[in-house]
Amino acid sequence: MSIGQKMHELAKKLWPINRSITGEGFRESLRILQGEVPEIKIHSIDSGQKVFDWTIPQEWSVKEACIVTP
């Protein structure tokens, strides 16, 4: 399989994952990437922790959504 085909397969795995800056979708995406690049180190920081000039927001997960008006 060519590098282009491998990248396309990786993109197909990652595309449908619902991601935000915090949440399970982001962690799932990182685990998939780590499977391709084992050197990636994943660290976790609790919500509410201050990191430099930013406070880690609360985690949220969208279960359902709709557009009410056009």
Residue 48: the pLDDT is 94
Alpha carbon distances (Å) from 36 to 1, 8, 15, 29: 15, 13, 16, 11
- Structure confidence at residue 62 (pLDDT): 79
Residue 69 covered by a domain: no
**Number of folded domains in the chain?**
1
| pLDDT at residue 42 in the model | 95
Q: Read off the pLDDT of residues 43-58 as tens digits, 9 standing for 90 and up.
A: 999 999 999 999 999 9
Instruction: Say if 46 falls within a structural domain.
Output: yes
Enclosing domain of residue 21: 3-55
Q: Which two tokens stand for residue 28?
A: 């799932």
Pairwise CA distance, residues 19 & 25, whole Å: 5
Local confidence band at 16 (pLDDT 50, 70, 90 cut-offs) = very high
What residues does 55 pair with on adjacent strands? 50
Q: How confident is the model over 24-29, as a mean pLDDT?
A: 94
Q: Does residue 63 lie within any of the structural domains?
A: no
Distance between CA atoms of 40 and 51, rounded to whole angstroms? 20
